[in-house]
Amino acid sequence: MSKIVDVKFELKTYKYYKPFHITGSVSDSSTNIEVVVITDIGIKGYGEISPSFRVNGEKVEGLYKLEAAIKESIVNMDVKEYRRIFDVLDKFFATPSVKAGVQYAVLDAFSEEINTPVYYLLGGMKREIETDKTVGIDTIENMVKEAKEIFSEGFKNIKIKVGEDLRKDIETVEEIARNTKEAKYIVDANMGYTPKQAVEFVRVLYKKGVDISVFEQPVVASDIDGLKYVRFNSPYPVAADESAKSKYDVYRLIREEAVDFVNIKLMKSGLSDALAIVEMVKTANLKLMIGCMGESSLGINQSVNFALGTGAFVFHDLDSHLMLKENKFRGKFKQNGSKITIL
């Protein structure tokens, strides 16, 4: 037996190398919660909670106070029976990033006990993945410069943040494409456009010969009809991010035929819902990408293991740790440019 005897939360703040600007939000730091699950034989499993008020309505100050409730809910449970623990933690559905961090810490403890990496516990489908790197909103000149630097570093997939100025966004994406010709582009509006603006955006760029691999969350999260309108009028595949938090959200998106891609983020759903979403999307013959919030290397480790284990994703947007200043790298993975493998 390997029963849980304690759960500990610790606040950690990481500064961005430069302010990270997306539609309607500029961040200069990320405050997360490190989770430690401790078993009766002294094994420790680690996870990270990286909340987003913009997406989930979560504040780190409130989540930190859940430490006692989480401990009370899962203490004396055996980490080997992690799906039973997941079921208990699913009751914290209003705080999905807490689910994600604690569920992963439980899996990490189990993996340490049996000396088997978490990605094997999740299926062991891939040995390597490739992440993109993100260009935040800035001046056209600065965004093009950053995209060129990212491409020169060996990142073949570039994520471009747009959504605050339609005309500028069109010019920016066109210029980035002109300067990084062999790259693939994920363009993320973070809910910044109306449906008609989104359609104008993609049609103008398509006529200019710009190839976009994924057009992510062009409209507000609640506008499923608008998302569907964009999908059926876009020459590029359309993805849901903020519209796809829980498995119930994804079920509706599939039923409404609203998207081509679903972006899973563990902080939106927890591991339990994320596992369900993978199977739902595969059954619907749609495609998946995996993203992140403001995780450090400890939190990105969770998504790396999930992506390698399930092997479910066409695109991987796991770069937040590359934007944060950390005293120590804490992921159980090796990164060589855009390529990520398990240690």
Q: Is the pLDDT of residue 297 over 80?
A: yes
* Catalytic positions, written as ranges: 161, 265
- 152 and 87 in a common domain: no
Residues 242 and 215 grouped into a single domain: yes
Distance CA 186, CA 135 (A): 10
Average pLDDT over residues 239-255: 98
Q: Residue 35: give its domain's CATH number.
A: 3.30.390.10
Is residue 10 over pLDDT 70? Answer: yes
The model's pLDDT over 169-186, given as tens digits with 9 standing for 90+, comes to 999 999 999 999 999 999
Are 128 and 196 members of one domain? yes
Whether residue 281 sits in one domain with residue 248: yes
Domain count, the chain: 2
237 with 281, same domain: the answer is: yes
Same domain, 111 and 126: no
Residue with tokens 């504040």: 59
pLDDT-based confidence at 315, cuts 50/70/90?
very high
pTM of the entire predicted model: 0.97
Residue 110 confidence (pLDDT) above 90: yes
- Which of 115, 146, 163 terminates a domain? The answer is 115
Per-residue pLDDT at 1: 67
Assess whether 69 and 128 both reside in one domain: no
The residue from 115, 145, 168 where one domain ends is 115
Last residue of a domain, one of 96, 115, 134: 115
3 state SS for 134-171? EECCCCHHHHHHHHHHHHHCCCCEEEEECCCCHHHHHH
Supply the pLDDT for residue 218. 98
User: Is the domain of 283 the same as that of 156?
Assistant: yes
Q: Identify the domain containing residue 90 by its residue range.
A: 4-115
CATH number at residue 317: 3.20.20.120
The mean pLDDT of 298-311, rounded to a whole number, is 98
272 and 124, same domain (yes or no): yes
> Per residue in 216-228, pLDDT tens?
999 999 999 999 9
| Burial annotation 262-297 (CB, 10 A radius, 16+ → b, else e) | bbbbbbbbbbbbbbbbbebbeebebbbbbbbbbbbb
Please indicate, yes or no, whether residues 86 and 143 belong to a single structural domain of this protein: no
pLDDT for 274 beyond 80: yes
Say if residue 53 is in the same domain as residue 107. Answer: yes
Q: Is the pLDDT of residue 160 over 70?
A: yes
CA distance 243 to 240: 5
Residue-wise pLDDT tens digits, 58-106: 999 999 999 999 999 999 999 999 999 999 999 999 999 999 999 999 9
Residue 239: Cβ within 10 Å count: 29
Share of the chain above pLDDT 70, in %: 100
Domain check: are 177 and 308 in the same one?
yes
